[in-house]
C-alpha cells in the first residue's frame, strides 16, 4: 500500500507563473550565463570549504557530519533560492542559473557523499553507511521543501 503525501498549495512552489517567466534555468547558455556560473561557483566553493572546516572542528571526523550538513543546507538553499529568484525577486534566467548551478552546485557535495558512503561500507560499517544514506536523503528532501515553504514568509 502506498501512502501519498500531498501538500496543498494553490500553485507549484518552485515553478514560475505567468507568460513572461521561464520555468527552466538559462536554456541558451550564452556568455553572460557562463560568467554568472563562474562567479557563483567561486562563492559556493569557498562556503563549502569554510563550512567543512568549521563542522569538522566542532563535531570531529568520526562521521561525515560536514558533508551531511553541507548537503542539508544546500538542499534548503536550493529550495529557498529557487522560489525567491522566481516569485520574490525575479531575476534573469542567466542569473538564476548562475546562482543555482554555479553557487549551489559547487556548494553541495553529492560526489563526496557517495565516496564517504562507499568508504563506510568498505570499512565494514554497512549499517552506518545505510544510516548516512537514509539521513542524507530524508534531510535533503526535507531541506528543499522547508526552503521553498519558508521563502514566501521572508
**Res. 15 pLDDT band, cuts 50 70 90:** low
Dihedral sign of CA atoms 136, 141, 142, 143 in order: positive
Residue-by-residue DSSP string for 23-78 = SSS-SS--HHHHHHHHHHHHHHHHHHHHHHHHHHHHH-SSS-HHHHHHHHHHHHHH
How much is the pTM? 0.72
Does position 6 have pLDDT exceeding 50, yes or no?
Answer: no
CA distances from 30 to 9, 47, 70, 134 (A): 34, 26, 30, 38
Among left, alpha and beta (phi > 0; psi -120 to 50; other), residue 60 is left
Query: Does the annotation list 102 as a binding residue?
Result: no
3-state secondary structure (DSSP) of residue 61 = coil
- pLDDT score at 14: 55
pLDDT band at 5 (very low <50, low <70, confident <90, very high): very low
pLDDT bucket at 12, cuts 50 / 70 / 90? low
Q: How confident is the model at residue 154 (pLDDT cuts 50, 70, 90)?
A: confident
Query: What is the per-residue pLDDT across 38-72, written as a single tens digit (0 to 9) for each?
Result: 999 999 999 999 999 999 999 999 999 999 999 99
Rounded CA-CA distance 58/114 in Å is: 23
Alpha-carbon radius of gyration of the chain = 17
- The domain ranges of the chain are 61-153
Q: In the predicted model, what is the mean pLDDT of residues 13-39?
A: 69
**Model pLDDT for residues 98-152, shown as the tens digit of each residue:** 999 999 999 998 878 888 998 899 889 999 999 999 999 999 999 999 999 999 8
Establish whether 105 is an annotated binding residue.
Answer: yes
Please list, in sequence order, all residues whose beta carbon lies within 8 angstroms of the beta carbon of residue 27, skipping any fewer than 6 positions away: 93
Buried b (16+ CB within 10 A) or exposed e, 65-77: ebbbbbbbbbbbb
Amino acid at each position: 500500500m502506498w501512502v501519498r503525501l500531498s501538500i496543498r498549495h494553490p500553485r507549484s512552489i518552485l515553478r514560475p507563473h505567468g507568460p513572461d517567466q521561464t520555468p527552466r534555468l538559462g536554456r541558451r547558455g550564452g556568455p553572460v550565463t557562463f560568467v554568472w556560473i563562474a562567479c557563483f561557483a567561486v562563492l559556493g566553493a569557498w562556503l563549502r570549504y569554510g563550512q567543512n572546516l568549521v563542522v569538522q572542528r566542532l563535531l570531529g571526523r568520526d562521521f561525515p557530519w560536514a558533508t551531511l550538513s553541507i548537503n542539508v543546507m544546500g538542499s534548503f538553499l536550493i529550495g529557498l533560492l529557487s522560489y525567491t529568484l522566481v516569485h520574490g525577486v525575479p531575476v534573469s534566467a542567466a542569473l538564476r542559473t548562475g546562482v543555482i548551478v554555479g553557487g549551489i552546485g559547487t556548494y553541495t557535495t553529492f560526489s563526496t557523499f557517495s565516496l564517504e558512503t562507499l568508504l563506510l561500507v568498505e570499512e565494514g560499517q554497512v549499517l552506518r553507511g545505510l544510516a548516512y544514506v537514509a539521513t542524507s536523503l530524508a534531510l535533503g528532501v526535507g531541506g528543499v521543501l522547508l526552503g521553498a515553504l519558508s521563502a514566501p514568509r521572508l
